[in-house]
Structure 1
Amino acid sequence: MLGSLLLLAAGIGMRTPTPSDEPRFALVAHQMAASGNWLIPHRGTDWYSDKPPTFMSMQAASHALTGNWEIAFLLPSLLCSLGTLWLVYDLGRRLWGHRAGMWGALGLLCTVQFVFQAKRGQIDPTVTFFVTLANAGLLRHFLLGPDRRAFWVGCFAAGLGVITKGVGVLAFLMVVPWLFARHRAWQGLSPSTGGVATWLGGVVAFIAALALWLVPLLLYVHAHDSAEARAYISDIFVNQTVHRYVHPWNSFQPPWFYIEVIFTSWLPLSLALPGLLPAWRQRLRERDARFLLPLAWSVLLIVFFSITRAKRDVYIMPALPLLALCAGPFLRDILQRRWAQWTALVFLLALALPTLALGLQALWHPSAWTMRFAQARQLGDQTNALWIMFIVLGAWILVCVAAFRLRRAGLAVLTSLAGVWLLWGLWAAPLLARASSQAPLVQRVEQTIGPHAELALVAWKEELPLAFERPTIDFGFVTPWHQQLADSIRWQEQAPADRWVLILADVMAPCINQDATIDMGITSGRDWRLYRLDAVAPACRGGVVPVGAVEDWGGVDKHR
């Protein structure tokens, strides 16, 4: 666990949130802390109804404890990832012994998706922890019980998963393979799962977790009834759950998408599948419920998310800890086989050689592709630092391969990936965050308008208000851009001498005279302009902005 803490915490506090999801959650958490309203999340002036407030509340609470936002926005992911690792180890230890639990946790710690997400300020590591805790409670009751306390904790954790992202209820899919195994009299099941009181206690625990958010929310909405409040309730309970699953509006992928995720994002654990699949099949033939329940649940989860057209790699991340758990009893033996050792070394060489070659080539003879790569990320004078990191990374992996060689290929994988993630956390991620930072834009704006002026944002991105120390005005985030522009004009007319607007250049025509604006430069591929009321065309005074006059993503949240 100390090694895991070192690996996962490396780089925390060294960077700011980077798009696309991190700034959104961090902005909501900032506004929670500033306003004291931790019940209704806001993104600017809009009620933020994409997700329940649990994760953002955890970020705000982390800031209350640490006083540092660069730590606070990553701390929930770090703690929840460590918790998930401990749950995999603890459950593996209870089912098969200490060594199996250790190998399962190490297998999870080596997986690309798990570590990458653990180092991000996103919601998925938290959801994965709650779902894994729910699964652990159910499995301890079904396989090692009866254990009513573990069962109730699992049900409560499932409820916390629901009020975090809505998918916590999927933990109860574990009942399906349990019923099958019980009907077929599989080995390894608990002799009893308690009476009606046990099951009712689980229902109460689940509802109690939901009530932590739902009861205050409904009381608040009842006391502050408005069209906005009713729209929030409808969106978060209907549009963002049922409608998003049945009729999604983005992230369309083919039905086999998650097969690709398993063989890419779940590397290098997925490389052990040729050895794991026969071992699992043998245990299932022996009717061992210890393998049936977690494996069947993982398959059910993947199938559930494969049915809908909208697919993202993180949707099936909660299945990864249970697959690593089931891999634990076999990984040591698999890594002693020659084919697995060669596979591990080939994987490392396939990672090291292109990385080393790319770094050397980009540093000494940069191609058009590497130059475009650096320009797209606005690396500037930090470009060489990135390519040096590539060289160091490739060289480190080759040193690990040479040091451990074929016989200890497992250690080569572990140490190589440890170096990868340490370099990512301490070098690459801070470098990329600095390169895409809004700080230069903010500095230019501050120097132009002075400390006493008021500033409004039009067609803004979530990372922009985070970068300002001063309060900024906005006119909604999902509000159509032409409406934001109209509202900003009316706002400026109330105090023309003191009010400035920072606007995306694409939104200006025909209402804003570009020659009367101040160019703030290009940041993250967006051209920003600053102006006062004298840049507004006479035809648009009073907020008269024709619909369709500007490029408009009206009412569409492009970051969902």
Structure 2
Amino acid sequence: MGSVPMHQYHPPMRTPLALKNDESRDTWLFWLTATVILFAGLGLRDPWPADEPRFALVARQMVESGQWLFPMRGDELYPDKPPLFMWLQAAFYAVTGNLRIAFLLPSLLASLGTLWLVRDLGRRLWSAQAGHYAAWALLLALQFTWQSKRAQIDPTVTFFITLSVYSLLRHLLRGPDWRFWSLGWFAAGLGVITKGVGVVALLVLLPAAWAQWRGWSGIATMRSAKFWLGPVALLLPLALWLLPMLLAVNASDDPALRAYADNILLKQTAKRYADPWHHHQPAWYFIQVALTQWLPTVAVLPWMLRPWRDALRARDARILLPLAWVLLVIVFFSLSSGKREVYIMPALPMLCLAMGPYLHDVLAKAWPRRIAFGLALALSALLAIAGAMVVWGEPGFERTLEEARGVAHGADPLGAMLLAIGAFGLAAVAWLRARRGVAALVWVLAGLWVGVSLIGYPLLNDASSARGLMQATGARIGPDAELGLVGWKEQNLLMADRPAKTFGFLRPFDEQLRDARAWQAQAPATRWLQVEATALDDCIDRSRAINLGISNRREWWLVPAAAMCASGQPQVR
């Protein structure tokens, strides 16, 4: 293994007891801060679009139906993603019985796990200080914390990919350790059945093989019969899912199940990468994402280039492997024309790991502290000014927000929240000053995340989750009525106050509406339809329907049977 570069900061000699006390204090401070930031607001909101209601709905249906093998969205199969993330949500829901808590737990626990892996690997490869700084760099990165507090798949797949790279590096840089070698491949398999991209973790083997070929020291061998333990371990989680699923498909005459298997195995993997049908972005898109969404961590990159260069010149594989892997991941996803910012999120933990051994020295310099202080000051001032403009400024903004988002209480409470967070940040900046600019930035970001979670979640929840829309619908039709949904979104079905009838999700709106009319006609006195505005046709008398307003940027109508024309067919114009 290559040695740590000579210019790396070496702390002054201290007694073992003092070092142990400092490390214990730093550990408790970090985990307390991480837990408060990530778990703030848990239980204060329901799933919000775009993806959260979909996964939560599938998970709830698994528990309620007892059918976990084939994910269902309403009355249709959901083939867009492998099931592991939804299984985790369903398991937490079955244990807690509280969907508001269960739907976020996989992301939150996975994010804590990712932080632990980065911290532990930094400690093992360099020092406790290196792991400590690497974990802080990851926690403060905007994309990591933002996604960690959302119930999307990406924090969970990031954990499995990080676990895979962590385990492979334990073998390659601290080994040989064939148990961790096998765990690395197994975790990559778990990543595959989470989102399909878990195999990108194995790209770390390419720079390892190159370094061995070039004669770098400190890299454990991969030339052994035990190498094949890895591919076998990779196949195990795939087999645990695919074998029961494919056996069930082959034993069934249902064409929908065969279509599900074809979709999940082909369209949503190889075809989605090679010939994507949405999210088209230019080749440099991920560079833009890294330079913005990985702030403030990437702000220190200019000071990392020299120590990284020196480490690579010294043939330090501890820097080569994670850095090369980060670049390979970015290149891999850049080669596809379909791109979303979350695709490269799994690369962020290893970038922070490579920064860890040098961050103490970098942050001791004046300019990085000044930049951190400037970011803290600018963010605090921006939040305070924005909040003041909302509260005391142009009322047209409030009307726009209420019309577009359906916020029940207007924008003033949100403005007051921004003003309060900004004022808190300005107070922290004034207290800590430029000399402690990094600490000021930590306080400002922590105040932002905690403030938005504890204040913003309750304010925005009814409008963002469709809870307010569905409560209004339930109040209008009464407790004994039946409800059918046309042109619905997942949050409508999830937040309905009663079992709701659906007529397909991906089917064309006119086909949904046709079947909904037939269903309503069977019991016209007690059956109502909630219809998205673009699904209304000329057979519906809007003067007899009820306009429910805007929710999630869509207009919704409540249609009784009396609002349907007698023929049940749209009029010809």
User: TM-score, normalised to structure 2's length?
Assistant: 0.91
Query: Does residue 180 in structure 1 map to residue 210 in structure 2?
Result: yes
Query: Does residue 366 in structure 1 map to residue 366 in structure 2?
Result: no
Query: Does residue 118 in structure 1 map to residue 143 in structure 2?
Result: no
Secondary structure class of the residue paired with 2:543 = helix
Instruction: Indicate the residue corresponding to 2:34 in structure 1.
Output: 4
Instruction: Indicate the residue corresponding to 1:378 in structure 2.
Output: 406
**One-letter amino acid of the structure 2 residue matched with residue 116 of structure 1:** W
2:474–2:497 contact (8 Å) kept in structure 1: no
Q: Structure 1 stretch 201-210 or stretch 489-498: which is displaced more?
A: 489-498
Pair 21,362 (structure 1): closer, same or farther in 2 beyond 3 Å = same
- What percent identity do the matched residue pairs reach? 48
Match of 1:36 among 61, 66, 80: 66
Instruction: Indicate the residue corresponding to 2:133 in structure 1.
Output: 103
How far apart in 2 are the matches of 1:288 and 1:216?
Answer: 45
Pair 361,446 (structure 1): closer, same or farther in 2 beyond 3 Å = closer
Q: Structure 1 stretch 416-425 or stretch 398-407: which is displaced more?
A: 398-407
Instruction: Indicate the residue corresponding to 1:203 in structure 2.
Output: 231
How far apart in 1 are the matches of 2:399 and 2:498?
Answer: 36
How far apart in 2 are the matches of 1:59 and 1:437?
Answer: 18
Q: Which runs of 5+ in 2 are unaligned?
A: 1-30
Q: CA deviation at 1:299?
A: 0.5
Instruction: Indicate the residue corresponding to 1:220 in structure 2.
Output: 248
> What is the total number of aligned residue pairs between the two structures?
543
1:7–1:418 contact (8 Å) kept in structure 2: yes
How far apart in 1 are the matches of 2:476 and 2:427?
Answer: 52
Secondary structure class of the residue paired with 1:470 = coil
Instruction: Indicate the residue corresponding to 1:74 in structure 2.
Output: 104
Instruction: Indicate the residue corresponding to 1:495 in structure 2.
Output: 523
Q: CA deviation at 1:287?
A: 1.2
1:335–1:409 contact (8 Å) kept in structure 2: no
How far apart in 1 are the matches of 2:423 and 2:364?
Answer: 26
Query: Does residue 406 in structure 1 map to residue 431 in structure 2?
Result: no
Q: CA deviation at 1:370?
A: 5.6
How far apart in 2 are the matches of 1:528 and 1:378?
Answer: 11
Q: Which runs of 5+ in 1 are unaligned?
A: 551-560
- Structure 1 outlier segments of 4+, above 4 Å: none
How far apart in 1 are the matches of 2:252 and 2:121?
Answer: 45
How far apart in 2 are the matches of 1:141 and 1:406?
Answer: 42
How far apart in 1 are the matches of 2:132 and 2:450?
Answer: 21
How far apart in 1 are the matches of 2:283 and 2:396?
Answer: 36
User: TM-score, normalised to structure 1's length?
Assistant: 0.93
Q: CA deviation at 1:397?
A: 1.8
Instruction: Indicate the residue corresponding to 1:325 in structure 2.
Output: 353
How far apart in 2 are the matches of 1:64 and 1:118?
Answer: 22
Secondary structure class of the residue paired with 1:521 = strand
Instruction: Indicate the residue corresponding to 1:279 in structure 2.
Output: 307
1:459–1:504 contact (8 Å) kept in structure 2: yes
Secondary structure class of the residue paired with 2:483 = strand
Q: Structure 1 stretch 78-87 or stretch 532-541: which is displaced more?
A: 532-541
Secondary structure class of the residue paired with 2:435 = coil
Match of 1:51 among 68, 81, 94: 81
Please list, as runs of the form range in 1=range in 2, the aligned pairs for 1:263-274 lying within 5 A after superposition: 263-274=291-302
1:345–1:406 contact (8 Å) kept in structure 2: yes
Please list, as runs of the form range in 1=range in 2, the aligned pairs for 1:82-481 lying within 5 A after superposition: 82-190=112-220, 192-193=221-222, 195-196=224-225, 198-366=226-394, 368-369=396-397, 371-373=399-401, 375-481=403-509
How far apart in 1 are the matches of 2:367 and 2:385?
Answer: 27
**One-letter amino acid of the structure 1 residue matched with residue 104 of structure 2:** L
Pair 20,135 (structure 1): closer, same or farther in 2 beyond 3 Å = same
Secondary structure class of the residue paired with 2:194 = coil
Secondary structure class of the residue paired with 1:408 = helix
Secondary structure class of the residue paired with 2:406 = coil
**One-letter amino acid of the structure 2 residue matched with residue 179 of structure 1:** A
2:300–2:368 contact (8 Å) kept in structure 1: yes
1:26–1:73 contact (8 Å) kept in structure 2: yes
How far apart in 1 are the matches of 2:241 and 2:264?
Answer: 13
Q: CA deviation at 1:382?
A: 5.0
**One-letter amino acid of the structure 2 residue matched with residue 535 of structure 1:** A
- Which digits, 9 at most, give the CA deviation of each residue in 1:86-132, with x for residues without a partner? 00001111100111001000110111000111100111000000000
Q: CA deviation at 1:283?
A: 0.9
Query: Does residue 535 in structure 1 map to residue 550 in structure 2?
Result: no
How far apart in 2 are the matches of 1:112 and 1:374?
Answer: 27
How far apart in 1 are the matches of 2:345 and 2:460?
Answer: 25
- Which digits, 9 at most, give the CA deviation of each residue in 1:178-227, with x for residues without a partner? 1100001113312x34621x222111111111112111111221222321
- Which digits, 9 at most, give the CA deviation of each residue in 1:6-49, with x for residues without a partner? 22101100101111111111111111111111111111111000
How far apart in 2 are the matches of 1:455 and 1:400?
Answer: 51
Secondary structure class of the residue paired with 1:520 = strand
Secondary structure class of the residue paired with 1:248 = coil
How far apart in 2 are the matches of 1:292 and 1:70?
Answer: 42
Secondary structure class of the residue paired with 2:550 = strand
Question: Cα RMSD (Å) of the superposition?
Answer: 1.8
**One-letter amino acid of the structure 1 residue matched with residue 335 of structure 2:** I
- Which digits, 9 at most, give the CA deviation of each residue in 1:264-315, with x for residues without a partner? 1101001010111222122111111111111111101101111111111100
How far apart in 2 are the matches of 1:443 and 1:100?
Answer: 51
1:141–1:193 contact (8 Å) kept in structure 2: no
**One-letter amino acid of the structure 1 residue matched with residue 426 of structure 2:** L
Secondary structure class of the residue paired with 1:299 = helix
**One-letter amino acid of the structure 1 residue matched with residue 298 of structure 2:** S
How far apart in 2 are the matches of 1:51 and 1:490?
Answer: 33
How far apart in 2 are the matches of 1:521 and 1:8?
Answer: 33
How far apart in 1 are the matches of 2:524 and 2:243?
Answer: 45
Secondary structure class of the residue paired with 2:124 = helix
Q: CA deviation at 1:135?
A: 0.4
